[in-house]
Structure formats: structure tokens, C-alpha cells
Amino acid sequence: MRFLCLHGIGTSSQLLKMQTSALRYEFGDQHTYEFVQGTMPWRMAPELSAISKEEEPHYAYFDPENATGYLTAYNQLESFIAAEGPFDGVFGFSQGAGLAIIYMARKLIETPKAPPPFRCAILFSPTAVGDPFRWFETGEMRELEALPGAATISTPAAFIWGSKDESAPRFEALFETFDSNTSWKYVFEGGHEIPNPTITGSMGEAIKVARRAVTQAQRGLRQ
């Protein structure tokens, strides 16, 4: 499968490659990855202090305090997918995972009969997940709590986050916006980070739920 990869706020595509290298190795060489960098310079994310330096370039896809920024990032993502896609799946961390959810949610509601933009999603600690319907239409800033009409995103998805992440309760609520029949979660003993070999047991379990999402997507293709 070909994955679109979206990094976290205050990081970069290069850092996401480093953060996911072990996971991608275990995931298998049958997949390819396209890393897309944000265009907005941003201060370094605090959790990167061990692998990056403040003076190195870090980016965001949008300013989470600016409603207009969400619309710009959404349009930029749509333009990139139109030019460089299609992509079988999306692989996102933090703000990148949040942007992926916003994109999938809005596509579902605006074009419910169209094929979803991705066949599967692997989402790590999604943050800054705004309500695209309220923000894009009225400018009111509000977190996504539920989709209009009690709709759920049916794209097979793996949700993975650390139990010590301060946003963990928020991740649980976002998980509920996905169809329970085609989504899986794994909570590991960590913070706002991606499972890695230093966190005992996190790699194997993360790969398991990610593979479930991929397998479900592949089954859908065969039907």
C-alpha cells in the first residue's frame, strides 16, 4: 500500500521518518510512504529534545488557534492528493493525524456517496481536531465531538496513543467518531510519542492493530 505520511506540529517530515523507522521496518517492505511537510515554520515540539535542536527547522500544517489556517491546510492537502495521489492509506502523528481526521470527516459529510479518500488510516495521538463543519462555515472554533447526523467514519483505522499523554481522554472521544466494526485502538505506556523499541511491548502491539486496518482495507478491495 502507498501511504501519505503527515507529521506532528513542531516537527518535520525528516523527523517523522526517524520516529517511524522501526515501525515501518516491522510493518514490511510491501508498503511505500510519501512524507508531506507542513509549510508553516513552528517552534520545536518539546518531546523532540532528544533527537532535534531548537535551531533546526520545524513546521506545522496550520496554527491551531487560527480557524482560517484549518481551511488553508485542508485545501493544501486536497490539492496535494489531487496532484500526487491517489494514496491507499494515511499515516499521521499528532497534528498530522488530526488533519487526516478533519479531511476524512468533511469528505464523508460533503460527498457521502463518493469513495473515501483513503482505504485505511493509521493514526497516532491525533491533536487539533477541529469541527470542520462549524469552523469552516461560521468561523467558530470548536473541537470535533461528533459528525452531523450521528455519522461515523467507516475507513478502517488504527488508533494508537500513550496512556501518559495529557490528551488521552480526547483520543478516546475521537475514536468514537469511527465505525466500531472497522476501527481498533492500542494504548501503550508512553506519552505524546510514537511506539518505539525503548517502550517495552509497544512495537508489536502497534503493528498488530495497524495490520488489522490494512487487512480490513484489503478485504474491502476484494469484495
Annotation says 165 is catalytic: yes
Neighbours of 46 (CB within 10 A): 8
Per-residue pLDDT, 158: 98
**Burial environment of residue 92 by CB neighbours within 10 A (0 to 12, 13 to 18, 19 or more):** buried
Orientation angle between helical segments 202-222 and 13-27, nearest 10 degrees? 80
One-letter identity of residue 145 = E
SS (H, E, C) 5-47: EECCCCECHHHHHHHHHHHHHHHCCCCEEEEECCCEECCCCHH
Q: Give 14-54 pLDDT, tens digit per residue.
A: 999 999 999 999 998 889 999 999 999 999 988 887 777 88
CATH top class, domain 2-222: alpha beta
Cα 196 to Cα 19: distance, rounded to the nearest angstrom: 8
Catalytic residue among 12, 88, 131, 165: 165
Catalytic residue among 88, 131, 183, 192: 192
Per-residue pLDDT, 54: 80
Cα 112 to Cα 107: distance, rounded to the nearest angstrom: 7
Q: Residue 221 pLDDT > 80, yes or no?
A: no
Annotation says 7 is catalytic: no
Q: Give 90-143 pLDDT, tens digit per residue.
A: 999 999 999 999 999 999 999 999 999 999 999 999 998 988 787 767 777 788
Quote the pTM value: 0.94
Q: Give 43-89 pLDDT, tens digit per residue.
A: 998 888 777 788 789 999 999 888 778 888 999 999 999 999 999 99
Contact 102, 129 (CB under 8 A): yes
Per-residue pLDDT, 43: 93
Domain assignments of the chain as residue spans, ordered by start: 2-222
Catalytic residue among 94, 125, 183, 202: 94
Per-residue pLDDT, 136: 67
Cα 14 to Cα 81: distance, rounded to the nearest angstrom: 20
Per-residue pLDDT, 223: 44
Per-residue pLDDT, 46: 82
Q: Give 145-194 pLDDT, tens digit per residue.
A: 889 888 999 999 999 999 999 999 999 999 999 999 999 999 999 999 99
β-strands 32-36, 40-41: how paired? Answer: unpaired
SS3 87: coil
